Structure 1
Amino acid sequence: MARPSTYLGWKIDYAHPLGEPALLDPGSMHWRVYKNPIALAVGGVTAVLLEFAEPRIRSGVWDHSTFKSDPLGRAMRTGTAALIGVYGPASAARRVIQSVTHMHARVSGETPGGETYRALDPDLLNWVAATAVYGFVTAYDRFVEPLSQDEKSRFYEEAAPVTHLYGATVSPGSEAEFMAMLQALRPRFEPHPIIDEFLQTIGSGKAAPAVPKPLHRALARAAVSLLPPPVRRTLALGREHDLRLAEGLALKTGGRLAERIAIRSSPPCQASIRLGLPHDFLYRGEAERQRLLADLRAGVTAGGK
């Protein structure tokens, strides 16, 4: 039996209450993508780079969080919130999202350039939410399994209900819509030492010394490789950040391997059990997943848990 995890004081039990739905359907692209740790790790760093390109977001995160002193802990907490939003019982997910929103309500300030900001500014929330969607689905497509354009669009469309709970007012429904949002914001993007410091921290291995340093460097370079080329040029991330062939192959091997390993205590497996599906539901073939979902929707309890 997996122990409930804790986030912002809330105990999150992904396996209970039995039958309580998540905010997103188990047949969603989000359930498929979020189960993969390589996609989440690479995509999460890409999202931060895109957020830090915007001066107000960069100042808000750097000045009002533990990112610079505890980047791994901050990243893990952000990842936990994301997993709760996808796999947690809907009631628990709403409580956590409301807690995050209340915490963000206290965040405001001024950038070194004299611009004021508020964390709950819808324009900033829209961009933060969009970067996460872009980062995760692009990382999965590049380092786990290629996705069709329809699958990518489904992922973008599914994100809207959750991002709106966080306060976002606009959620891109496709990669093309994300790129249009990016294009509108690009004049505000700028290089900054904080971006370099963030990448150095990720690549150094200091945040997680038990993990081999080459994997950290590969993760940082993989994240940079997912940036749209004009953004990478604007951020002045040169060839020293190029992903090596061996690094890319290692990440793809890890990503594909993770697609086959169902860890019963993990949020994806516990959430599957909660809904009456086998714990390895997400790790089975497409046809088998569709059959299990059809049985579940017809009121048949899946066996083999």
Structure 2
Amino acid sequence: MLVGLRERIAAELTATTHGGDLKLERYAGPPGDPGLFGIAPGDPVWRVHGHATGMLTGGFAALMLQSLHPLAMAGVDQHSDFRADPVGRLNGTVRFITTTTFGSSAAAREVIDLVRRIHTRVHGTAPDGRPYRADDPDLLTWVHTAEVRSFLAGHQTYAPRPLRLTPAECDAYYRQAAPMAEALGARNVPRASLEAEHYLARLRPQLHATPAALDSVLFLRRFGRTRRERLVVGLLTNASVGLLPDWARTELGIHRPAPVRTGWDRPLATAVGRTLQWGLGPSRIQAAARGRLAGARQG
């Protein structure tokens, strides 16, 4: 019975996050290839991006935080099919993160080139009359910074305490993640925790919840194709609210008292994450990447 349950969890989660096919060839070869950004087991980026609960809660938090930039939100609202195909949008995001983190150099270049091509087609005028384009370097910096800040917050909240990053390792995480954004065209990317917080403070006057942002967050928190999926997403998005800065929760009109966030949301998300991780078992993607990297030591 437990084996069957584990297989169902693994199949459902793999279908939701990866489209059903892990495409392990992106990670397994060629032997000795260091990957485009030279990320190795034990590096902060590997540890953060390899922790399932932190990435799930951090990913939801990132989407909420990113929505507060009116130009970024306008691009998503006017060009993305996330409402019609939210799983497809999720698959694309997961593919980019896992491939640039754990994949071969060629696979990472391929997904970066794909995203850059897509960005050239995403442009228009926001409801406030300002023009936007998805390949705007400053907008790319916003999207990246909101994302990695949220991933790191998820890891530091949900990874077992002995596995959490030290302050120096948190800075190293930002430093290692920055080239991924720069490869897409971002500039002046924060390379330390304090730089990221200063960056958010500078942008704070530009950030607010538009009707499209409020609608997208409501859609996100209610998403689910089945009752079980809606339950899991609801628990994880509630937990992701606790990863947001206080001002971001206020802007989004989310009123969830601190005792609820810490005494209810966090334990439930921890339990859900452990169940999902048990169902998935050891990461086949990370195992394939380790095997590829081991080729350099054996050769």
Whose helix proportion is higher, 1 or 2?
2
Aligned to 1:269: 287
* Residue 155 (structure 1) aligned with residue 173 (structure 2): yes
Deviates more, 1:228-237 or 1:92-101: 228-237
1:15-36 CA-partner distances (Å, limit 9, x unpaired): 1212211123213111111112
Work out the CA distance in 2 between the residues paired with 1:265 and 1:151: 22
* Residue 235 (structure 1) aligned with residue 252 (structure 2): yes
Aligned to 1:143: 158
Aligned to 2:9: none
2:189 corresponds, among 142, 152, 171, to 171
Q: What RMSD, in angstroms, separates the aligned Cα atoms of the two structures?
A: 2.7
Structure 1 residue 149: deviation in Å? 1.1
TM-score normalised by the chain length of structure 2: 0.82
Aligned to 1:282: none
Q: The residue matched to 2:132 in structure 1 has which SS?
A: strand
1:21 corresponds, among 23, 34, 55, to 34
Q: The residue matched to 1:276 in structure 2 has which SS?
A: helix
TM-score normalised by the chain length of structure 1: 0.80
Work out the CA distance in 1 between the residues paired with 2:24 and 2:290: 18
Work out the CA distance in 2 between the residues paired with 1:215 and 1:194: 24
Structure 1 residue 244: deviation in Å? 6.4
Identity among equivalent pairs (%) = 29
Q: Larger relative contact order (C-alpha < 8 A, sep ≥ 6)?
A: 2
CA contact 1:18–1:274 (8 Å) conserved in 2: yes
CA contact 2:44–2:165 (8 Å) conserved in 1: no
Aligned to 1:125: 140
CA contact 2:214–2:252 (8 Å) conserved in 1: no
Aligned to 1:55: 70
Structure 1 residue 210: deviation in Å? 6.4
1:188-233 CA-partner distances (Å, limit 9, x unpaired): 1112333333333333242x42644332112112222111112222
1:70-119 CA-partner distances (Å, limit 9, x unpaired): 22321221111111000110121012101110110111100111110011
Work out the CA distance in 2 between the residues paired with 1:258 and 1:175: 29
Change (3 A) 1:237 1:202: same
Aligned to 2:234: 217
Q: How many residues align?
A: 273
Work out the CA distance in 2 between the residues paired with 1:141 and 1:245: 17
Work out the CA distance in 2 between the residues paired with 1:113 and 1:190: 12
CA contact 1:144–1:255 (8 Å) conserved in 2: no
Work out the CA distance in 1 between the residues paired with 2:79 and 2:253: 25
CA contact 2:52–2:277 (8 Å) conserved in 1: no
In the alignment, structure 1 segments of 5+ residues that lack a partner are 278-295
